[in-house]
Amino acid sequence: MSGAPAATTGIPAAVLDAHVVVDRGEFVLDAELRAPLGVTALLGPNGSGKTTALLGLAGLVGLARGHVRLGEEQWEGDARGRAPEQRSVGLVLAEPMLFPHLTLLDNVAFGPRARGMPRARARERAREELGRVGLADLARRRPGEVSSGQAQRAALARALATDPELLLLDEPLSALDPETRSRTRADLSHRLRDYPGVTVLTTHDPLDALTLADQLVFLEGGRVTQTGTPGEVVGRPRTAYVASLVGLNLLSGILVQKDPGWAVRLASSELALADPPAGAGEGDEVWATVNPEAVALFTDRPETSARNLWRLTVDSVTVTGQRARIHLSGEVSLVAEVTLGAVAALGITTGQQLWAAVKATEIHTYPA
């Protein structure tokens, strides 16, 4: 696996086994992807190679090297490689890409018809698939006569009507407004539970991934940096991007024994621990996570029992609902999450210096 070792103890044996290498000159994707039956979410920042990976699996982008195997079938990587139209793949993009002049029924029937299925049987198959995504009553409508969420479900039905062995979903919810996205996410989750093949979906939204996926794969800069079940990733993020996506602060350093207790020696500071991490000894590299809600802020140096205390500078303030995330830098870089009332009471503004305190018991550490 490219990138950091992945904890995969909770994931069944792979059905999809691929090494996707795409060379675009200024950007090279080099990712090993293994996915079991069920849903694998491919996450990463913009430009990390998520869509390129899907197109490589589908055969729509040529591989510089590597392979694509699904079960016992070799789709790419030797002389028996298959063209895109010969692969059992369903592809759904962020935009539904439905034929505007056809009804939803005929849009969904298009795939089976293109593969030689008789018209009546193709329409029967399309009705069945539209019913599975809750659109049976809208079969006679055209794409312009339905909502964006309904159009996206119709695109999913069209992809599944050909009974693909591999279903590829590229940011399937990104073009939807928040309310529609929530409803469509629930519908998508229900339908994917009944799909017997391998699904790989791309997203940058952790809620989509945690709601829909059995396995998470993180791509950064064209490389896989972490793989695991949602529980494993949330419990032990291994890059700053992964930690930020699951809402945690992530610090790395060397485990040292102090008198008394243990600490993590950081680049410019130390992090006092309540207990050493299991599986690590003095001198080992370790990760430490801190929940932003566990970071207490003060305008003056506090009288506190917290063993970790720093004077930091406010870099930015991000408000979401009734809470705010305060980005801090200095000896350590931290994000604190507080109420809007606390922002007002402390008079928090960009450039301000605050004292940040974290109790040793609020720090979770594990071997790097």
pLDDT tens-digit series, residues 69-121? 999 899 998 767 888 988 999 999 888 999 999 999 999 999 899 888 999 99
**The pLDDT of residue 11 is above 70:** no
| pTM assigned to the model | 0.87
Query: What domains can you pick out in the chain, each with its CATH number?
Result: 16-243 (3.40.50.300), 247-367 (2.40.50.100)
pLDDT tens-digit series, residues 152-200? 999 999 999 999 999 999 998 888 888 888 888 998 999 999 999 999 9
At 310 the pLDDT is: 97
**The pLDDT of residue 266 is above 50:** yes
Q: Return d(Cα 50, Cα 131) in angstroms, integer.
A: 30
Percent of the chain with pLDDT over 70: 96
199 phi and psi angles, rounded to 5 deg: -115, 130
**The pLDDT of residue 271 is above 50:** yes
Q: Return d(Cα 361, Cα 74) in angstroms, integer.
A: 51
pLDDT tens-digit series, residues 316-349? 999 988 999 999 999 999 999 999 999 999 999 9
Contact between 301 and 354 under an 8 Å Cβ cutoff? The reply is: no
pLDDT band at 260, cuts 50/70/90?
A: confident
At 47 the pLDDT is: 93
**The pLDDT of residue 48 is above 70:** yes
pLDDT band at 302, cuts 50/70/90?
A: very high
DSSP state of 222: T
Angle among Cα 213, 214, 215 to the nearest 5 degrees reads 90
At 8 the pLDDT is: 40
pLDDT mean across residues, the chain: 92
Distances (CA, A) of 102 to 137, 145, 178, 187: 16, 11, 28, 23
**The pLDDT of residue 253 is above 90:** yes
pLDDT tens-digit series, residues 107-138? 999 989 988 899 999 999 999 999 999 999 99
Is the dihedral angle over the CA atoms 202, 206, 210, 212 positive or is it negative?
negative
Q: Which amino acid is at 328?
A: L
At 6 the pLDDT is: 38
